[in-house]
A and B are shown apart, each in its own frame.
Chain A
Amino acid sequence: MLFSSIPFLYYFLPCVILVYFAVPKCLKNSVLLLFSLFFYGWGEPRYLIFMLASITQGYVFGVLVERYRDRKWSRAFLAASVLFSLLLLGYCKYADFFISNFNAVTGLSLPLLKIALPIGISFYTFQILSYVVDVYRKEVPAQKNFINLGAYIAMFPQLIAGPIVRYADIAGQLESRTHSVADAAYGIRRFLLGLSKKILLANTLGELVSIFKASQEPSVLFAWMYAIAYVLQVYFDFSGYSDMAIGLGRIFGFRFMENFNYPYISASITEFWRRWHISLGTWFRDYLYIPLGGSRVSRPRWLLNLFIVWMATGLWHGAAWNFVLWGLLFAVLLMIEKLWLLSGLQKVKGLGHLYVLFFVVVSFVIFDGPSLGEAGNHLAAMFGGLKLPAVTTETLYYLGSYGVIILLAVVGATPLPARLFRMAEKKKGGGLLLSAAEPLVLLGLLILCTAFLIDGSFNPFLYFRF
C-alpha cells in the first residue's frame, strides 16, 4: 500500500489509528504488527511469507546468539542469520542480474528466474541484519517477545522505504513509549509535509521526467530540464517518504532517525553523503566499512574498502550496472576528495556547491537510466553529444509549464523556507499568526494532496523497489 493513496489515507490510516488508541498498552504492538502485515500484504500478499520467514529467523537467531554468547555457536548462529538474510535478498533481488551477466560472459542461455522483487525487502533485510549483529556485539539484548520484534521489523511507517531504523534506537520504545497530543501534532505536521512533497512536488516533477522521455522533439535544454527535474523528484520523493515515516512513527510514539538534511546544499560529496539517506550511509559505515577496517588500514586497503562499500551501496539500490556505476562514481569522487580535494573545497564553498550539484545531476541521470546505454544517451543529450537543437517549441512550452514547480522545488530543497518561517515566527505577532494559520495551511495541503490523487493516476514511490 502506498502512503500517497486514497486507500491508505482514508481507509487504512483512520482504522489503524482508531484501533491503536482504543486498545490497552499491552496490545499496541500486536495491533501495529497486525496492521503492518495487512499493509504489506495489501500490495503483495504472496510475499508475506518472505517477511514472516525473515522475522522468524531474526527472532530465533537473535535469541540463540544471545543464549550462546561468548561461545563459538554464537558466531555460527550469527553467520546463519546473515547468510539467510543475504541469500533471501540475493535470490529475490540479484539472481536474474547474476544469471544474465553469467549468460553474457559465458555465452550460455540459462533461464532467468523472473522473480518480482518483494517491496521493501532491502530495508527490512538490513534492519534484521543490524539487529542480529547488534545482539552479537552485545550492543542490545535479544528481543524475547516475537510480537515486539515483528512490530519493529514490519512496522508499516518505515517498512517499504525507510529510514532504516536500528533496533537499538527503538528497543526501549518498543517496550514502553508515551503518546501525547504534542507528538501526534508533530507527527501530523511531518506526515502532511512529506505527503505534499511527494504528491505536489515529486509526482509533478515526475510528469516532466516522463514527458522528456517520451518526447519526439528533445533538445539540449530539455535534457537539462529533465536532469534537474529528476534530481529534485528523487529528493522530494524519498525525503517526502521519510518525513511521512517519521511523522507516522511519532503518532505511534516512536522516534525515528532523520534521513535527509538538505543534501543539495552540500559543498562536497563527503558532506552530501552525510546529508543524503543518512540511515543507509550510517548502516554501511557501521556494518560494512568499519568491519572491513575503515580508514585505519593501509592506503590501498582503505581505497579497496571504499570501493567495496560504494559498490554495495550502488547494488543495494538496484540490480543493474547503472546502479553499480552510480555507486562507483561516488567512490571515485570520495577518494579524490579524501586524498586531495576536501580541504580545498572547504575554503571555496561556492565552487564546492557547483561541483556537488554538477556531479549529483550527472550521477542521478546514470541512476535513472534503465540501462547504461540509455543513461549514456541522456548524458550525451545534455552535453551536446547527440547534435540536438539547443531548444524547441516543446521545450519552451514545458519550461513555462513546469517553471514554477521547478523553482518551488529548488527553493524547497534548501533551508530557506524553514529559515523564513522561523524569522516570521519571531516577528511581533508573527508567532500567533503562524499558529493560527498552521492548521488551516496543513488542512489545505491535505485537501490539495487528495485532489491531486483523485485527478491523477497511481504513482509508485521511486524508492519502492530498492
Chain B
Amino acid sequence: METKMKNMVLVCVTGAFLLGFFLWSLLKPPEEISLSERRPLAAFPQLTGESVLSGEFMTSFESYTLDQFPLRDTFRGIKAVTARYLLGQKDNNGVYMEDGYLSKLDYPLNTDSVDYALGRFRYVYDRYLGDKDMDIYISVIPDKNYFMAEANGYPSMDYEALFTRIEEGADFAEYIDITPFLELSDYYRTDTHWQQENILDVARQLAGAMDVTLTSDYTKMKTDSPFYGVYYGQAALPVSGEDLYYLNNDILEQCRVYDYETDAYLPVYDLEKAEGQDPYELFLSGPKSIQVIENPQGSRSRELILFRDSFGSSIAPLLAEGYAKITLVDIRYISPAMLEQFITFENQDVLFLYSVSVLNDSVTIK
C-alpha cells in the first residue's frame, strides 16, 4: 500500500471512529440503570456557575460519559476478555473464573471485622437473650472461595481461623458446622449465593441441631428468565445465564410473609422480582429489615428468630416446616437497639446465620 494511501486510511478510520462515537454519545438517550452491573447510571450533571467553579460539574460529567458511553457493556466485555485471555490476568475487577464459576477475591481474614460482627451479636444477646431461657445457635456460611480459591492458586483467607474465632467469640451460642454439607456446585455460577434446591441437607442439619425435624418433599420450580448473578456484571466476561429454581410445596403455599417495612403480607416467592434487576430477590422479596414467615401448619410450640444476611432468604423457607413462625432479622437494615419495638423475645430458638463475605466485611452491620 502506498504510504499516502496508508496515511489517508489511518486518518479517515480514526477520525470516523472518534467523530462517530462523539455524535452517538451526543444523540443517544441516556439510560437510567445498568442491568448487568445492577446500579443506576450517572445522569447529566446540573450545569451551574457554582458546580463549574468547584469542578463538581466536570467530575460528574466524566462519570456521565463513562456510564452513558454507547455500547458500554460491549466495551467492558472487550476489556475483560483482553485482560483474561490476552494479558493473562487472573481476575477482572477482583472477580475470577474457574470451571465456569465466578467468585470475588476475598482475603485475608479481617479479624477486626469479624470481631465487630461478634460484638454486635453479643449486643443482641446481652440486651435481649441473656436473661431468657432461649436456645441460641450460630453458623457460618462459607463463600465460594472456600471451595475454589486455595485449590486453584488464588489467595484465600484462613477459614479455619474464622470458624474458630466465631465459635469461640460467640460462646453464648451453640456452633453448627454446615461446611460438610456444602460444595461448590451448591452455589450459583454467576452469583455469590447458594442455590435453594441444593441446600435441603444444610437446612436439615441446621434444623436437626436445633432439635427440629424436617421431612417435607418439595417440587422444583423454574423461573422464566435466565439468571445472571452479581458477579456476571462485575466480571464482564461472556458467561451464559443459569437456571433459577425455587422449592415449593403445600406448606409453603399456605405460608404468609409479613413485612414490617411495608406493613403488608408478601409471598414467600416473589415471581415478579425474579424478572427484575436482581432475580435472587425472588426469595422473600429481597433485602428487608424484619419479616415474619407465618406457617399455619407449623408446630405451635416452636418459633425461630433468624438473624441473617441475604443467604437467609433462600434457606428460611426450607426451615418453615418446623416452625409456626420464623422472624427474620437483618441488622444491616435495622439497628438492633430498635428490635424490642417489633419483637418480643421469650422462648424462641435463635439462630445467627451469616455468610463469610458479610463477616469479613461487617461494616454494614448496625
Using a CB–CB cutoff of 8 Å, the interface residues on chain A facing chain B are 1, 5-7, 9-11, 13-15, 17-18, 42-46, 181-182, 184-186, 188-189, 192, 204, 216-217, 393-394, 396-397, 400-405, 408, 432, 435-436, 438-439, 442-443, 446-448, 450-456, 458
In the assembled complex, which residues on chain B have CB atoms less than 8 Å from the CB atom of A458? 62
Q: How far is the CB of B364 from chain A (nearest CB, A)?
A: 21
Contact present for B75 and A451 (CB under 8 Å): yes
Q: A185-B10, A217-B108, A439-B6 are in contact. Are A10 and B18 (CB under 8 A)?
A: yes
Q: A6-B69, A45-B52, A435-B6 are in contact. Are A454 and B91 (CB under 8 A)?
A: no
Indicate if B366 sits at the interface (CB-CB under 8 A): no
Contact present for A438 and B65 (CB under 8 Å): no
Contact present for B155 and A442 (CB under 8 Å): no
Contact present for A443 and B13 (CB under 8 Å): yes
Q: In the complex, what distance in Å separates the CA atom of A452 from the CA atom of B81?
A: 11
Size of chain B's interface in residues, with CB distance under 8 A? 50
In the assembled complex, which residues on chain B have CB atoms less than 8 Å from the CB atom of A403? 88
Contact present for A43 and B6 (CB under 8 Å): no
Contact present for B65 and A185 (CB under 8 Å): no
Contact present for B79 and A452 (CB under 8 Å): yes
Indicate if B53 sits at the interface (CB-CB under 8 A): yes
In the assembled complex, which residues on chain A have CB atoms less than 8 Å from the CB atom of B65? 6-7, 10-11
Contacts across chains A and B counted by CB atoms under 8 Å? 138
Q: In the complex, what distance in Å separates the CA atom of A10 from the CA atom of B28?
A: 14
Q: How far is the CB of B161 from chain A (nearest CB, A)?
A: 14
Contact present for B62 and A439 (CB under 8 Å): no
Among candidates B4, B9, B78, B87, residue contacting A447 with C-beta atoms closer than 8 Å: B78
Contact present for A188 and B75 (CB under 8 Å): no
Of all chain B residues, the one with the shortest Cβ separation from A405 is B87
Q: In the complex, what distance in Å separates the CA atom of A447 from the CA atom of B70?
A: 12
B1-37 interface with A by 8 A CB criterion: 1, 3-4, 6-11, 13-15, 17-19, 21-22, 25
Of all chain A residues, the one with the shortest Cβ separation from B90 is A401
Q: In the complex, what distance in Å separates the CA atom of A146 from the CA atom of B138?
A: 76
Q: A181-B4, A455-B93 are in contact. Are A448 and B79 (CB under 8 A)?
A: yes
Interface of A is mostly: helix
Contact present for A454 and B14 (CB under 8 Å): no
Q: In the complex, what distance in Å separates the CA atom of A419 from the CA atom of B190?
A: 45
Contact present for A217 and B155 (CB under 8 Å): yes
In the assembled complex, which residues on chain A have CB atoms less than 8 Å from the CB atom of B107? 394
Of all chain A residues, the one with the shortest Cβ separation from B16 is A443
Of all chain B residues, the one with the shortest Cβ separation from A182 is B7
Contact present for B10 and A432 (CB under 8 Å): no
Q: A185-B7, A217-B155, A393-B156 are in contact. Are A455 and B80 (CB under 8 A)?
A: yes
Contact present for A438 and B10 (CB under 8 Å): yes
Q: A393-B155, A405-B87, A439-B6 are in contact. Are A5 and B62 (CB under 8 A)?
A: yes
Listed A/B pairs (24) with beta-carbon separation below 8 Å: A7-B61, A10-B18, A10-B65, A10-B69, A11-B22, A11-B25, A13-B18, A17-B15, A46-B53, A181-B11, A188-B11, A217-B155, A396-B153, A397-B155, A400-B88, A432-B1, A435-B1, A446-B14, A451-B75, A451-B82, A454-B69, A454-B75, A455-B92, A456-B79
